[in-house]
């Protein structure tokens, strides 16, 4: 049986005992207020809801240079999935911040091409946050299937309106 390792808590101090040498993503003095954890939980809940909604969709409207364009989800081929996994593995092994950034961008650019047919030019002209969220949801759908339709999703999409 394999063991799983939880990622370090982004709020804890520099070495939280979970990973040697781990550094906090957010300074502990900023996050020590009583409202911080509920705030993060609310963000997490909203992200889960949005992801659940996007996993169920097959069409997305994304603005490319300010012009709305409809993209249609397609299933990716095993070869394409393996290519994305190779990039993820290289990203995990990379230690140079510039290399990590380039690999992350390459991963999302290729995933957008594979999942929704977005060209490289469209990727660089689109709202990265919206594309990333759509791609992340479609990757989860590929790995885990569609979400249960009885789960409530109350969030709405902004830059990329979703079509039913």
Nearby residues of 163 by Cβ (< 8 Å), 6 or more positions away: 57, 58, 59, 60, 61, 70
Q: Is residue 11 part of a domain?
A: no
Q: Collapsing DSSP states into helix, strand and coil, what is residue 69?
A: strand
Q: Look up the pTM and report it.
A: 0.66
Task: Give me the domain span that covers residue 115.
Answer: 57-163
Top pLDDT among 108 and 23 is at 108
Do 153 and 55 meet the contact criterion of CB atoms below 8 Å apart?
A: no
Number of domains in the chain: 1
Kind and range of the H or E run holding 44: helix 36-55
pLDDT at 1 over 90: no
Quote the pLDDT of residue 29: 65
Quote the pLDDT of residue 35: 78
Nearby residues of 106 by Cβ (< 8 Å), 6 or more positions away: 87
pLDDT at 7 over 50: no
Quote the pLDDT of residue 96: 94
pLDDT at 107 over 50: yes
């Amino acid at each position: 049986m394999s063991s799983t390792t939880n990622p370090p808590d982004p709020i804890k101090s520099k070495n939280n005992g979970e990973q040697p040498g781990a550094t906090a993503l957010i300074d502990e003095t900023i996050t020590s207020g009583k409202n911080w954890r509920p705030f993060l939980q609310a963000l997490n809940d909203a992200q889960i809801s949005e992801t659940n909604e996007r996993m169920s969709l097959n069409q997305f409207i994304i603005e490319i240079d300010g012009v709305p364009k409809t993209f249609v989800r397609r299933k990716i081929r095993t070869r394409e999935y393996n290519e994305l996994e190779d990039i993820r593995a290289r990203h995990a092994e990379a230690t140079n911040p510039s290399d990590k950034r380039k690999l992350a961008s390459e991963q999302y650019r290729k995933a957008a091409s594979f999942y929704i047919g977005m060209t490289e030019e469209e990727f660089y002209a689109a709202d990265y946050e919206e594309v990333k969220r759509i791609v992340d949801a479609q990757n989860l759908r590929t790995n885990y299937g569609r979400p249960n339709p009885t789960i409530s999703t109350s969030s709405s999409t902004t830059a990329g309106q979703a079509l039913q």
